[in-house]
Structure 1
Amino acid sequence: MNNKQQYPDIAAGKGEKEASMMVAIPGSELTSSLLEKRLEQQTYFTEGEVDYIPEDGGFFFSCKKDEQELRFYISLVDSDPEYSINPYFATDPISPELYAEASSAPQAVIIECMFQEQPLVSYLQQLKIIQILVPDLLLGLDLSAAGKVFTREWLNFQLVDDLMPSVDSLYVVHAIYDQDENEEQTEEDRAPTMYWFHTHGLARCDLSEAEIIIPHPIASYYGIPELFWSFVNNSITQSKIVFNEPIFIGQTQTGHEYLVAVPFEEGLLHVGQSTLVDDLKPLEEMNFEFGDTNSARFMGDWHDRDESHQHPSVMLFRVTQENPTLESFFQGFEDQNAMMFMRTDEETADMSRKAKLRWEYFTHMLDNYGPKPVVQKKGFFAKFMGKSEEQADSDWRFLVKCGIGYHDEEEDYDGHEHMWFEPISWNGEQFEGRLINHPFYVQHMQEGEVYPLTRDDITDWTIYFQDGSYTPDTIYKLLSGAQVH
């Protein structure tokens, strides 16, 4: 048995979905009747019905959200004393006290469902059921995403205003790497020489998992999360995976960047081979027989693939306009100071709506912890002035992404380029920002110059504090009473 038939189904948007499974650990004792009562009292879902399953004590909750028919499997179980919560993948730092309390909790609630056409909507609905059933949640576990741990604070913030969670909420990226065996170096000093990044969580989205193999050293992880994000969002938007064809994902100062998705069984044959895209076999002619388990040419080869990593997965390769051959990411990218990743119109609209609705969070932190607004100097020497001492020494940095309109005369096309600005002065919904990107399309702006902007221009924002970054999805961490500034 191999994956040969599953890939054409995934390419047609008819892949075999896995159930999405989450576990909620309550802070107080529960009974099935109490869970049923909470479902009866909630008003988020309508036309709810409960059907018990005599064999295991669980039940199905059938309901509607607007006109969409939904069905959840819910089961109250005794905690498994041998199961260990792994906080490696977590939405927040987990305190030792909270970890100990959740690990010793006697009960857990299992919530399963099948995602429908819009995975993010289904994901949100599953979170909502957890919030209803376990309002005193200690910790939640997304078992479908490698047991990713989430907190009650994160859960409640995701459900504010019915805004869509970020795409990367659906999965985690597992990084495996080796290290240089130089005996003269300590283990901390040994740099990885090859990498294997792969996802967990996409199989419930009518997609396969995705992976990137890098058989050489890289300077940083720059761009890798965005690569997965772009690929997943593109696939969700199209409700399928496009195989063996270049997918436009971004642009650097030297040209356009594409990725090509190839079934991993075939992809392993092309790592380091510079195969032309046009030379790839059609999907139905590829060989999907499992390979030699002793083969260990690079991380992610057959030697590293246990049974759980032999399910359908696509390997992502880099392709450029100038060189239409399959390359690994990110060799040679050390010289690229910036890459503009493409977002779909739907994703950009969702991000912009969220950033604007939560703009007050940003300005609140900016007023309290940001640099004092400065009056811009005019004249020839103004652009050579750097940050003030106060700004340079601050642990805080505030950035706003804005969509700036432009007109492409050659294509006769009106569009928006989304670029990052550092606020210099602000007053309510208006502010001045210093552009920190090199514009690709907007001809009337230059990196380092200051421009007037408004809340209507905003498509995203980020706050950097010490070693952390906070976005419209994670700003709750800075507002939490547990956060010390």
Structure 2
Amino acid sequence: MDNKEKYDLLADGETGLPSTMGIIPSDTNFKFDTNQIEKSLASSKDFKLNAFTKEEDNDFAILTFSAEIEYLDEVYNMDLYVCETNNIDLANYGFGNQIDEKSLDIAQKQEYYLETSMYFGEDPLTAFHLQLKIMNAIVPDASLAIDFMSYRLLSAQWLGMTAKSPTPPSPDYLYTLHCIYNDEENGTRRYWFHTHGLHRCGTVELEMLNITQGAEQMHTLINMTVKKFLTNAAREKERFVIGYDGMGINLCWLRWEEALKDFPQLVLGGKGDRESEEGDNVHAEPSGILFAVEDGNMVSPEIYASTLAENPIYYITTEETNRMSDLAKERFSMFKQVFEKESPKPESKSFLKNILGSKKEKENEQKWTFLVKLGLDVDNPDEGASEKEHLWFDTLSISNNQIEGKLLNQPYWISNLNEGDVKTYPIELLTDWIIYSPDSTYTTDSIYELGLL
């Protein structure tokens, strides 16, 4: 199948790529066999096993199975393979989240791992969540998970936490965003951003080429564009609005084969980076290069760099907002537990100590910061971009299902609220949270790192 046919399939929301992931046990005595795998699937309360079949042996695996699984009123067909672990070079994969050295060492010593392969349905994140649940059901005590589509290793602790949750993880786990750059003699740095993992979700991969300004803003912009494509992918050359920076942030995409005609021949991400003698270069697969659309012209998205650095609003689907809110509330008890332990406490100091206190000591003092995002009603829902504006607050106190916080950014569509205001709101308005420690950052997806499970 050539790329033209693949683009046509993706335009219809179809894909020829299954999602392939693996899981490695932590117990060296763990044995994969037909009865163990079938029993694990059949006894799960998260999904229903409709059929299970042992397939003929092949060169790829020592055991092969197929399963029909029903989940949230949709039926999925999965292939399962028990394979030798020495066929995997873990050094070829990045880290999707924090993994300790002990888990990596245990994984490399295991003789076998389980590989799972399935096609996603209409909702990629739901299907991805199911795949995690299936792997966790078969190997509940894992050392490591591998996502072969995004080229990332995933923490077994994260996998266990996520598989047991009724709420899917962040869509960030569906793909990875690679950033490659060249430094030129004149000091200019040129970036090539591109994703891996979106093909299994029924959309093209996304890219930005020849970026020299606002790399951080472009990184965020392409990530937010991916979120839109996962629920409602734009067609080629179709203009879409991804956010608001005082005016609409308008983008479109063009397949790389056409887009490269307007770039320098030796641009990073050009034809030379998409060719291989074996013909298996993953960067030659269907991919869309993003452009800004201004006055009907397709130009570099760099034109948004300066305004995107000034508190823009990105449009997020209602489904994603609800998912984030559900997960934030589900794990808010852990946020509260850490807040009560680590949040700065007011100190009573003597007058003399206040005078003689070391200014250097205050400057070197490191503290934890606890932020919550709350969805607040806008003044004129019919005129604004949505009925809610989601704003970040620095948490000051938590009590009686109420959060007191200091607003960190200026609202666009709420006139009686200003940056710096201290307000108290019910936890029902919570849509996200984040914790900054002196040496790390913890979100709803990474809170497991604090050992609170």
Shorter-normalised TM range: 0.7 to 0.9
- The answer as to 2:292 corresponding to 1:315 is no
Aligned to 1:21: 20
Aligned to 2:82: 76
Distance, in Å, in 1 between the alignment partners of 2:403 and 2:332 is 12
* Residues 146 and 153 in structure 2, CA contact (< 8 A), matched pair in contact too: yes
Alignment of 1:155-304 (within 5 A): 155-181=159-185, 193-218=189-214, 220-222=215-217, 224=219, 226-238=220-232, 240-252=233-245, 254-271=246-263, 295-296=265-266, 298-304=267-273
**CA displacement at 1:151 relative to structure 2:** 1.5
**CA displacement at 1:324 relative to structure 2:** 4.3
**CA displacement at 1:246 relative to structure 2:** 2.1
* Residues 214 and 330 in structure 1, CA contact (< 8 A), matched pair in contact too: no
**CA displacement at 1:181 relative to structure 2:** 4.2
- The answer as to 2:114 corresponding to 1:115 is no
Alignment of 1:53-72 (within 5 A): 53-56=55-58, 57-72=63-78
Distance, in Å, in 1 between the alignment partners of 2:421 and 2:363 is 17
* Residues 355 and 458 in structure 1, CA contact (< 8 A), matched pair in contact too: yes
Distance, in Å, in 2 between the alignment partners of 1:67 and 1:10 is 24
When normalised by structure 1's length, the TM-score is 0.81
* Residues 328 and 432 in structure 2, CA contact (< 8 A), matched pair in contact too: yes
**CA displacement at 1:355 relative to structure 2:** 1.2
Question: 5+ unaligned residues in a row in structure 2: which ranges?
Answer: 276-280, 348-360
**Change in 2 beyond 3 A, CA 1:217/1:451:** same
Q: Which range is displaced more, 427-436 or 39-48?
A: 39-48
* Residues 250 and 339 in structure 1, CA contact (< 8 A), matched pair in contact too: yes
Aligned to 1:438: 410
Distance, in Å, in 2 between the alignment partners of 1:409 and 1:91 is 38
Aligned to 2:352: none
| Paired residue secondary structure (1:211) | strand
| Paired residue secondary structure (1:4) | helix
Distance, in Å, in 1 between the alignment partners of 2:331 and 2:198 is 28
* Residues 194 and 214 in structure 1, CA contact (< 8 A), matched pair in contact too: yes
Distance, in Å, in 2 between the alignment partners of 1:161 and 1:77 is 28
| Paired residue secondary structure (1:124) | helix
* Residues 207 and 241 in structure 1, CA contact (< 8 A), matched pair in contact too: no
- The answer as to 2:366 corresponding to 1:371 is no
**Change in 2 beyond 3 A, CA 1:80/1:259:** same
Instruction: Write the deviation string for residues 163-192 of structure 1: whole angstroms up to 9, x where unpaired.
Output: 01111111011111112447xxxxxxxx77
Aligned length: 427
Aligned to 2:426: 454
Identity of aligned residues (%): 29
**Change in 2 beyond 3 A, CA 1:91/1:8:** closer
Aligned to 1:285: none
Amino acid in the other structure paired with 1:89 = G
**CA displacement at 1:131 relative to structure 2:** 0.4
* Residues 371 and 391 in structure 1, CA contact (< 8 A), matched pair in contact too: no
Distance, in Å, in 2 between the alignment partners of 1:78 and 1:12 is 37
**Change in 2 beyond 3 A, CA 1:419/1:373:** farther
* Residues 76 and 108 in structure 1, CA contact (< 8 A), matched pair in contact too: yes
**Change in 2 beyond 3 A, CA 1:333/1:401:** same
**CA displacement at 1:105 relative to structure 2:** 1.6
**Change in 2 beyond 3 A, CA 1:334/1:371:** farther
**CA displacement at 1:373 relative to structure 2:** 7.1
* Residues 270 and 326 in structure 1, CA contact (< 8 A), matched pair in contact too: no
Instruction: Write the deviation string for residues 394-418 of structure 1: whole angstroms up to 9, x where unpaired.
Output: 3311111111112328739971111
Question: 5+ unaligned residues in a row in structure 1: which ranges?
Answer: 183-190, 273-294, 375-388
**Change in 2 beyond 3 A, CA 1:237/1:217:** closer
**Change in 2 beyond 3 A, CA 1:16/1:46:** closer
- The answer as to 2:312 corresponding to 1:339 is yes
* Residues 373 and 391 in structure 2, CA contact (< 8 A), matched pair in contact too: yes
| Paired residue secondary structure (1:221) | helix
Distance, in Å, in 2 between the alignment partners of 1:409 and 1:123 is 34
Distance, in Å, in 2 between the alignment partners of 1:473 and 1:31 is 29
**Change in 2 beyond 3 A, CA 1:419/1:324:** farther
| Paired residue secondary structure (1:80) | helix
**Change in 2 beyond 3 A, CA 1:245/1:181:** same
Aligned to 1:399: 371
Distance, in Å, in 1 between the alignment partners of 2:305 and 2:177 is 21
* Residues 124 and 201 in structure 2, CA contact (< 8 A), matched pair in contact too: yes
* Residues 334 and 452 in structure 2, CA contact (< 8 A), matched pair in contact too: no
Amino acid in the other structure paired with 1:35 = I
Aligned to 1:8: 8
Aligned to 2:278: none
Distance, in Å, in 2 between the alignment partners of 1:340 and 1:117 is 27
Distance, in Å, in 1 between the alignment partners of 2:251 and 2:286 is 18
RMSD of equivalent CA atoms: 2.7
Distance, in Å, in 2 between the alignment partners of 1:126 and 1:410 is 40
**Change in 2 beyond 3 A, CA 1:373/1:237:** farther
**Change in 2 beyond 3 A, CA 1:304/1:3:** same
**Change in 2 beyond 3 A, CA 1:324/1:394:** farther
**Change in 2 beyond 3 A, CA 1:461/1:391:** farther
| Paired residue secondary structure (1:326) | strand
When normalised by structure 2's length, the TM-score is 0.86
Q: Which range is displaced more, 113-122 or 191-200?
A: 191-200
Distance, in Å, in 2 between the alignment partners of 1:119 and 1:8 is 19
| Paired residue secondary structure (2:165) | helix
**Change in 2 beyond 3 A, CA 1:66/1:446:** closer
Aligned to 1:382: none
Within the candidate set 95, 106, 111, 2:100 is matched to: 95
